[in-house]
């Protein structure tokens, strides 16, 4: 479960990015976070994986207040949370396989287990023929699926995705959506920040609308 209580966040003084956010996301939920550019979507996701801390308020992940987390505890938080960044953040000089395996290496998995699990998820993403390629040789949709494979390979409890379908065509968007649905079906709580109205309309789930750092609307099914 994710909970935010009265969260304020300003990168600079007099310019708040989040302005009193209170939000509950139960375990197993699938939520779209939407709103115009600058509304605070990325900031909210960054708070949840501990990249930034709020000026005020509480952010709880599984009951733990992560705003008070000592730096050394951040890796434990990250184990629970898979993140897909807007710009993928893949390692350009490593293979697709390595980019996915790294999540499990950090967690201390054995080499054979890493191999088995990384192949499994890459196959699931339809990337088994690309495992030895480097990211720059892949299409945008393929890069996004590598990023998703890396985020999901350890079956995290929570998946956060920031504008995951940014530059993708409809076919690739649908593929990415299906991966989210599948992860959610298997119990992962999914939070997707997107300003893509059509994408959200194509997938009836809870929609939280941000506007100037506040929640304007919170609806189970989009209009």
Ligand X SMILES: Nc1ncnc2c1ncn2[C@@H]1O[C@H](COP(=O)(O)OP(=O)(O)O)[C@@H](O)[C@H]1O
Asked if residue 41 binds ligand X (CB under 6 A), the reply is yes
Asked if residue 194 binds ligand X (CB under 6 A), the reply is no
Task: Report the residue number, 34 or 99, with the smaller CB distance to ligand X.
Answer: 34
Helix (H, G, I), strand (E, B), or coil: what is residue 14? Answer: coil
Residue 161's CB: how many other CB atoms inside 10 A?
25
Of 33, 153, 41, 148, the residue nearest 90 (C-alpha): 148
Asked if residue 42 binds ligand X (CB under 6 A), the reply is yes
Among 7, 17, 21, 31, binds ligand X (CB under 6 A): 17
Give me the residues that bind Mg ion (CB under 5 A), please.
41-42
CA 37 from chain centre, in angstroms, equals 18
Task: Report the residue number, 40 or 82, with the smaller CB distance to ligand X.
Answer: 40
Task: Report the residue number, 12 or 93, with the smaller CB distance to ligand X.
Answer: 12
Question: How many residues appear in the chain?
Answer: 223
Q: How far is the CB of 56 from ligand X (least distance, A)?
A: 16
Asked if residue 92 binds ligand X (CB under 6 A), the reply is no
165-199 burial, b if ≥16 CB within 10 A, otherwise e?
Answer: beebeeebbebbbebbeebbeeebbbbbbbebeeb
Q: How far is the CB of 120 from Mg ion (least distance, A)?
A: 31
Q: How far is the CB of 128 from ligand X (least distance, A)?
A: 33
- Longest alpha-carbon distance in the chain: 52
Among 39, 59, 147, 215, binds ligand X (CB under 6 A): 39
Q: How far is the CB of 116 from Mg ion (least distance, A)?
A: 35
Q: How far is the CB of 197 from ligand X (least distance, A)?
A: 14
Beta-carbon contacts of residue 30 (< 8 Å; ≥ 6 apart) = 180, 181, 184, 189, 190, 192, 205, 206
* Rounded-to-integer distance, Cα 189 and Cα 49, Å: 14
Instruction: Using CB under 6 A, count the residues that bind ligand X.
Output: 11
Q: How far is the CB of 199 from ligand X (least distance, A)?
A: 15
Asked if residue 40 binds ligand X (CB under 6 A), the reply is yes
Task: Report the residue number, 41 or 145, with the smaller CB distance to Mg ion.
Answer: 41
* Rounded-to-integer distance, Cα 20 and Cα 57, Å: 8
Among 13, 37, 108, 221, binds ligand X (CB under 6 A): 37
Helix (H, G, I), strand (E, B), or coil: what is residue 83? Answer: strand
> Applying CB under 6 A, which residues contact ligand X?
11-12, 17, 35, 37-43
């Amino acid at each position: 479960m994710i909970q935010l209580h009265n969260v304020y966040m300003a990168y600079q003084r007099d310019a708040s990015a989040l302005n009193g956010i209170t939000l509950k996301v139960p375990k197993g939920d699938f939520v779209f976070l939407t709103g115009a550019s600058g509304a605070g979507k990325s900031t909210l996701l960054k708070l949840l994986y501990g990249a930034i801390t709020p000026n005020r308020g509480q952010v709880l992940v599984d009951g733990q207040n992560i705003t008070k987390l000592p730096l050394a505890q951040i890796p434990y938080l990250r184990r629970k949370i898979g993140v897909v960044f807007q710009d993928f953040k893949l390692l350009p000089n490593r293979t697709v396989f390595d980019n996915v395996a790294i999540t499990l290496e950090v967690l201390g998995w054995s080499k054979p287990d890493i191999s088995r699990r990384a192949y499994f998820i890459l196959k699931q993403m339809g990337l088994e023929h690309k495992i030895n390629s480097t990211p720059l040789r892949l299409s945008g949709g393929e890069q996004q699926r590598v990023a998703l494979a890396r985020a999901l390979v350890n079956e995290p409890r929570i998946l956060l995705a920031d504008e995951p379908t940014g530059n993708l065509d409809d076919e690739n968007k649908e593929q990415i959506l299906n991966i989210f649905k599948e992860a959610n079906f298997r119990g992962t709580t999914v939070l997707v920040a997107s300003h893509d109205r059509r994408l959200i309309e194509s997938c009836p789930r809870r929609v939280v609308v941000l506007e100037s750092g506040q929640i304007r609307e919170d609806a189970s099914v989009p209009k």
